[in-house]
Amino acid sequence: MMFRVCLLSFFAMLVFAPSASSTSRIKDIVDIEGVRENALIGYGLVVGLNGTGDTLRNIANTKQSLESMLERLGINTRGANLRTKNVAAVIVTANLPAFAVQGTRLDVTVSAMGDAKSLLGGQLLVTSLMGANGEVYAVAQGPVAVGGFSAGGDAASVSQGVPTVGRISSGGIVEREIKFALNNQSSLRLALRNPDFTTATRMAGAINTFLGLPVAHAINPTSVQLTRPPNWRGDMVSLLSEIEQLRVSPDLPAKVVIDEVTGIIVMGENVRVSTVAIAQGNLTITVEETPQVSQPGAFSEGGETVVVPRTNVAVSEEKGTGLVVVRQGVALRDLVSGLNALGVTPRDMISILQSIKAAGALQAEIEVM
């Protein structure tokens, strides 16, 4: 109990402690147009497994891929009865960083797509990684590192993690670059990661104040259009390096996020409630079945053994704290304090918040995950 109280106090300090600065750098709240990763995908084979690979008679694509690979190496196996279990067909994925040049190393993820039991100890053969346009941008190869394991016998088994998914650190090599001349751009857009009209307007104002020219303007709650000033001595890269350090105070919407599975509740600082009275109590109904066996007496004639049902029903209701009044326009601190005064659990608090919203007294949006 003492540990729980200390833990709640620690989280209360995190929520309510005054922050040293309520502003954020522009580089931490926006994405720059054209500066992004690109998803890559490929199909390959993992070899060298210890009997934990695909069953070739069940997974036809693995057998066909193995025969095609051997033919490229000058070995004809068409018509042969291949029965190896040391090969697995896999999907290989990676992210191509922005402005990655030829020779850059990538981390790749390898996932089994057949009935392989584990990729532990396997070696990925050369696999081409393609972008959404079908062009090859990288190749991957190397030993697969698997964090999970699986072992067992006829009557019992044990597993930890996912042994059919592995990773190859620096296993991919970039073969083709994505051309984008950022330094030659005369204008581009800054995309807010959390769209908001107020934040976009504040960011455009901070940029214009810093440069002394109206070169930035919000075109919607997500994007701010930035134009390079005609008298700027430098390219777009140098301009971005200057403005990304500017600080802006992001505006947060009034929102309550609820995860009903784990009982987690997160409330923004702008959440407000109208005057409302809340009462909470717990009603518990217990039904217990204890059937009894009734047997005939000794030396009796014509008697039979029967099962007699016995049911016990108990109803208990915990005494609540009565109605607690939450005043109009209270802040997040007072709202949480009022709900804690009821002594409710997180799951009960979820129901209370939803009831307050249904009553029209919660001035915030509720998002259930």
Q: How far apart are CA 268 and CA 254, in angstroms?
A: 6
- Between 154 and 304, the higher pLDDT residue: 304
Q: Mean pLDDT lowest for which of 55-64, 139-148, 259-268?
A: 259-268
Which residues neighbour 74 within 8 Å (Cβ) at sequence distance 6 or greater?
A: none
* For residue 157, pLDDT beyond 80: no
pLDDT at 9: 41
pLDDT at 304: 74
191-201 mean pLDDT: 93
* For residue 44, pLDDT beyond 80: yes
pLDDT, tens digit (0-9, with 9 covering 90-100), for 292-340: 777 776 666 666 777 777 766 665 555 555 555 555 556 656 666 666 6
Q: How far apart are CA 324 and CA 328, in angstroms?
A: 13
Question: What is residue 183's DSSP assignment?
Answer: G
Q: Mean pLDDT lowest for which of 53-62, 201-210, 320-329?
A: 320-329
151 SS3 class = strand
Q: How many Cβ atoms are within 10 Å of 239's Cβ, its own excluded?
A: 22
Residue 239 is encoded by which pair of tokens? 């301009």
70-96 mean pLDDT: 86
The structure tokens 């070169």 sit at 215
pLDDT at 363: 79
Q: How far apart are the first and last CA of the chain?
A: 29
The backbone torsions φ and ψ at residue 241, rounded to the nearest 5 degrees and listed phi first, read: -65, -25
Phi/psi class of residue 319: alpha, beta or left (left: φ > 0; alpha: ψ in -120 to 50)?
Answer: beta
194-209 mean pLDDT: 93
Question: Residue 343's closest CA among 282, 265, 262?
Answer: 282
Q: Mean pLDDT lowest for which of 137-146, 158-167, 210-219?
A: 158-167
Element at 333 (helix H, strand E):
helix 332-341
* For residue 7, pLDDT beyond 90: no
pLDDT at 311: 62
pLDDT at 122: 93
pLDDT at 200: 94
Burial class, 98, CB count within 10 angstroms (exposed 0-12 / middle 13-18 / buried 19+): middle
pTM: 0.68
pLDDT at 14: 41
DSSP code per residue over 208-256 = HHHHTS--EEESSSSEEEEE--TT-SS-HHHHHHHHTT-EE------EE
Indicate the pLDDT class of residue 153, thresholds 50, 70 and 90.
low
Question: Residue 106's closest CA among 169, 149, 153, 27?
Answer: 169
Cα–Cα–Cα angle for 59, 65, 67, rounded to 5 degrees: 105
pLDDT at 13: 39
Percentage with pLDDT > 70 across the chain: 77
* For residue 78, pLDDT beyond 80: no
365 SS3 class = strand
pLDDT at 360: 80
Residue type, 344: V
